[in-house]
């Protein structure tokens, strides 16, 4: 359902744009779990926003995420040949197209947020919060720490990795979880954004821990990308610090924490709880 909304927004906004970069943008948005879009839509629904109204914000976070994956896959970063079972953008086309497609998707995300049907004040907050989550104090900063760790003499501590992943992976997930509350803040009703932030923070960390688990025991064909790269590089991860069983236990505890944070919403938040449980049961 979330992916359908993303596809619809992409088709609407990019219809008629015929270029190699636009084709690469569409290509990178095809597939994936759509978890971040789902969090936006469900968080908005909890606050009275219907799916159609929240669709541009859901598409925006997927565009921002797709940009990050394109750049992350490039030779100067993680140097991956496959993403979601398909050639990465720089392999399908070339490095210049990958850079430009990523740049365009980042700009596209904010174009989409401009069209969210809420007050100008709330749109401004959505854009500001996403710029922080995506920037040097969020995703980009986390990626910088991750790259520096690969050539550092001393492996990162568990606290270092937790801080790194709060930026690299967690910041966009937390933005997604709280975006619905931001959109609904215009109507004068009480909004429980703090609970959704707690949910998003715990979920984002659980997501990354499970990624580390899958890098150890995942199947490359099923995942559609290479596995075992972290161990091959001698990289410190949650698994290297906690062990496989310890990492799984920590992820499970975080999912429980995320679900408990939603208690104020009662049964109405069950879909968000199911999303949290999915994060540590997925095989991709």
Per-residue 3-state assignment (H helix, E strand, C coil) for the chain:
CHHHHHHHHHHHHHCCCCCHHHHHHHHHHCCCCCHHHHHHHHHHHHCCCCHHHHHHHHHHHHHHHHHHHHHHCCCCCCCCCEECCEECHHHHCCHHHHHHHHHHHHHHHHHHHHCCCCCHHHHHHHHHHHHHHHCCCCHHHHHHHHHHHHHCCCCCCHHHHHHHHHHHHHHHHHHHHHHHHHHHHHHCCCCCHHHHHHHHHHHHHHHHHHHHHHHHHCCHHHHCCCCCHHHHCCCCCHHHHHHHHHHHHHHHHHHHHHHHHCHHHHHHHHHHHHHHHHHCCCCC
Q: pTM here?
A: 0.94
pLDDT at 52: 86
pLDDT at 188: 45
For 23-72, the pLDDT digits (tens) are 999 999 998 899 999 999 999 999 988 888 899 999 999 999 999 999 99
Is 275:223 a contact under the CB 8 Å cutoff?
no
CA neighbor of 203 nearest in space, from 133, 255, 139, 164 = 255
pLDDT at 215: 92
Q: What is the largest CA-CA distance in the chain?
A: 53
What are the phi and psi torsion angles at 155 (to 5°)? -60, 150
For the chain, domains (ranges, CATH) are 2-279 (1.10.600.10)
In this structure, what token pair is assigned to residue 42?
């469900």
pLDDT at 34: 95
Q: Is 283's pLDDT higher than 80?
A: yes
Average pLDDT of the chain to the nearest whole number:
92
Other Cβ atoms less than 10 A from the Cβ of 116: the count is: 23
């Amino acid at each position: 359902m979330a992916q359908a909304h993303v596809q619809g927004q992409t088709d609407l906004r990019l219809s008629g744009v015929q270029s190699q970069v636009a084709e690469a943008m569409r290509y990178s948005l095809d597939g994936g779990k759509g978890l971040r879009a789902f969090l936006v839509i469900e968080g908005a629904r909890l606050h009275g926003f219907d799916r159609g109204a929240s669709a541009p914000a859901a598409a925006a976070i997927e565009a921002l995420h797709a940009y990050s994956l394109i750049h992350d896959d490039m030779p100067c970063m993680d140097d991956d040949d496959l993403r979601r079972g398909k050639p990465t953008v720089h392999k399908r086309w070339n490095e210049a197209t990958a850079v430009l497609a990523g740049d365009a998707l980042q700009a596209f995300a904010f174009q989409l947020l401009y069209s969210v049907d809420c007050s100008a004040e709330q749109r401004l907050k959505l854009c500001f919060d996403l710029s922080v989550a995506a920037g040097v104090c969020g995703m980009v900063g986390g990626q910088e720490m991750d790259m520096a760790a690969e050539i550092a003499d001393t492996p990162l501590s568990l606290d270092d990795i937790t801080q790194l992943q709060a930026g690299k992976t967690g910041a966009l997930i937390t933005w997604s979880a709280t975006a619905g509350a931001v959109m609904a803040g215009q109507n004068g009703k009480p909004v429980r954004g703090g609970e959704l932030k707690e949910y998003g923070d715990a979920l984002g960390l659980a997501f990354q821990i499970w990624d580390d688990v899958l890098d150890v025991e995942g199947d490359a064909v099923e995942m559609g990308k290479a596995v075992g790269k972290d161990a091959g590089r001698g990289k410190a991860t949650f698994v290297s610090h906690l062990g496989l069983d310890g990492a799984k236990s920590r992820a499970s505890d975080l999912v429980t924490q995320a679900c408990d944070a939603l208690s104020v919403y009662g049964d109405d938040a069950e879909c968000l709880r199911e999303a949290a449980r999915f994060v540590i049961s997925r095989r991709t």
